[in-house]
Amino acid sequence: MYKLDLPIDPKEVAAIERRRNREQQRQSQIFNAKARTIGVDVAVLEKQVEERRMMERTEKAREEAFDADREQYDKVALMLEEREQQMSHDLDRAVQNYRQQHQKPETRREYDLYDPDALKKDRPARVSDHDPRCGPATLQMFAGEDLNEKKRRELQTDMTKKWLTEQIDERKRKETQQMYADNLYDRKRVELDERAQHLSKMEEECRRAVNMATTNFNQASAMEVVERRRLQKQQEEDNNFAEIYNHLTGDILTENPAVAVSAFGPQRVVPDRWKGMSPEQLKAILDIQKEQCQENQRLKEEEKRQNMEWDRQRILATRAAMNLEQQEQEYNKEIRKRLDGYNQQLSREQKAHLEYLEKVIYTNNPTAHYHSQFNTTSR
């Protein structure tokens, strides 16, 4: 009995049939163009879509948090700018009020020269026999009758000393006020710089902690309120201190009634007693004018030297630019030349490769029988 006559094992037959059915199912899936093109894992795609949407929502929330912080910082910057403008307006208004209250035309020293009511306020030519206004021109007092000459000269000397002392004190007071104003300005500028650094630091922390944007925003808002109150309190204290200082150093409290030089008012001068400026005062004025002329000459020479230096630098820069432009043109020309040569070489190599493919490689064209061997199995 030969082996070909042996009965077939049912398990082997079932295995062969099972493999044949699986092969047919596989072929039906692979050879079906619709199932092959759209047969993907829908659950994975939906998960990817959901992850993409979640990333977009997270990015949108992050952008909204940045936008809210940016708006908050813009509001703070606008508030600081408005506060600075208000301070400038208040300062201008205070200066104008001071001028209207303490620098009236009536308080000027030379007001008697153009006072429209001077004739109404003037006294008669002579009041009594001992009227000090009766000089030689009045033909009522003559040479040799000046019994109070020594006292008059002492009075004039004391008056001159008082004028000089008053001018020195006025100059010192102005310098003190200027130093105090500069100090206040420097303190305010430092405070604004510290405030800007503080805001910049808050912005960096907010960008680094996106997940805690809400908490950081609330903390930043609370800190902003505290800082605003502190700034308001500091500003109020500075204003009070400046007001107290202005009252203490103002003309009202420091006014000296002893500076009066005329019986008709503290701002008038008796013409027949005033001998003009002293040689020291004239020399001081001439020295100041000479210094100003020298300073103007020095400034003109410095400006001329700077203009010459700028012209020289401009000429050097123009020459350097022309050299660079010429070098760039030569370099571009060389690059174009090399590129043309390289393109020609590539063209020759491509033509040689095509000739090799047509004459050596692709000499045996495939027939219909060759194409019928494909897509017969799923493997």
Per-residue pLDDT tens for 25-56? 777 767 766 655 555 556 667 888 899 999 99
- Given a contact cutoff of 8 angstroms between Cβ atoms, the answer to whether 314 and 322 are in contact is no
The 3-state secondary structure of 282-344 reads HHHHHHHHHHHHHHHHHHHHHHHHHHHHHHHHHHHHHHHHHHHHHHHHHHHHHHHHHHHHHHH
Q: Is residue 139's pLDDT more than 90? A: no
- Whether the CB-CB separation of 267 and 112 falls below 8 Å is answered with yes
pLDDT exceeds cutoff 50 at 259? no
What's the rounded Cα separation, in Å, for the pair 181 and 189?
A: 12
- Collapsing DSSP to helix, strand or coil, 265 comes out as strand
pLDDT of residue 147 exceeding 60, the answer is no
Q: Tell me what the pLDDT averaged over the chain comes to.
A: 79
The most distant pair of C-alpha atoms in the chain lies apart, rounded to whole Å, by 184
> Cα 303 vs. chain centroid, distance in angstroms?
29
Give CA–CA dist 152/146, Å, rounded. Answer: 9
CA distance 126 to 139: 11
pLDDT tens digits for range 55-86: 999 999 999 999 998 899 899 999 999 999 99
* Banded pLDDT at 248 (limits 50, 70, 90): low
Distances 176 to 4, 95, 183, 243, 255 between C-alpha atoms, Å: 129, 17, 11, 15, 17
* Closest by CA position to 231, among listed 80, 127, 342: 80
Residue 122 contacts residue 270 (beta carbons within 8 Å): no
Sign of the C-alpha dihedral computed for residues 107, 112, 115 and 119 taken in this order: positive
Quick one: pLDDT band at residue 267, thresholds 50, 70, 90?
A: low
C-alpha 217/C-alpha 68 separation (Å) is 9
> How far apart are the C-alpha atoms of 160 and 154, rounded to whole Å?
10
HSE at residue 131, side-chain half, CA atoms within 13 A, is 15
Closest CA to 213 of 72, 316, 330, 84: 72
Asked if 304 and 297 touch (Cβ cutoff 8 Å), the reply is no
For residue 276, the SS3 value is coil
Per-residue tokens: 59? 């990015």
Helix (H, G, I), strand (E, B) or coil at 295: helix
CB 144 within 8 Å of CB 241: no
Helix, strand or coil for residue 6? Answer: coil
CB 73 within 8 A of CB 199: yes
**How much is the pTM?**
0.23
Which of 62-66, 133-137, 298-302, 332-336 is predicted with the least confidence, judged by mean pLDDT?
Answer: 133-137
- Encoded tokens for 326: 């010429």
The residue ranges of DSSP E strands in 144-295, in sequence order, are none
Distance CA 111, CA 97 (A): 21
Residue with tokens 């992850």: 51
At residue 358, the pLDDT reads 80
Contact 226, 234 (CB under 8 A): no
C-beta of residue 107 within 8 angstroms of C-beta of residue 252 = no
- Which residues pair with residue 262 across a beta bridge? 265
